[in-house]
Amino acid sequence: MYGILISLENYLEIKTGNTVEELIENHEDIQGVFIGRDGDFLIVGTVLDAVNMGKDEGMIVPELTTEEESLTRVSIEDKFGITGEYHYYFIRK
């Protein structure tokens, strides 16, 4: 997943007018995922599908182009008012 990590507390303080439920819904291009022991953090971003290469070969984690990364950042800022530092995150379902 390419996105930004934010604490649930910080998100609630932003007061974007969006509920947490709206944030974790699967939008066209953006999704929120709860993480942390108590689910008190969110990663908001673009979910990427890893390609499983086989039992002994591991998997390939795709990367977005610079333009796709930029579109993700702009979309999150426009929809949810979240700004900051973006990274790639490995999330298991």
| Confidence category of residue 85, pLDDT binned at 50, 70, 90 | very high
Return the amino acid letter for 17. G
Please state the pTM of the whole predicted model: 0.75
Rounded distance, CA 18 to CA 80, Å? 7
Give kind and range of the element (H or E) at residue 30. none
Please name the helix (run of DSSP H) or strand (run of DSSP E) that holds residue 25, with its range, or none.
none
The predicted-structure confidence for 42-73, as pLDDT tens digits, reads as follows 888 988 877 666 667 667 778 899 999 999 99
Mean of the per-residue pLDDT values of the chain = 79
Comparing CA positions, the residue from 42, 44, 43 lying closest to residue 9 is 42
Q: Which two tokens stand for residue 39?
A: 């689910």
Higher pLDDT, 7 or 2: 2
List the chain domain ranges: 2-88
Share of the chain above pLDDT 90, in %: 23
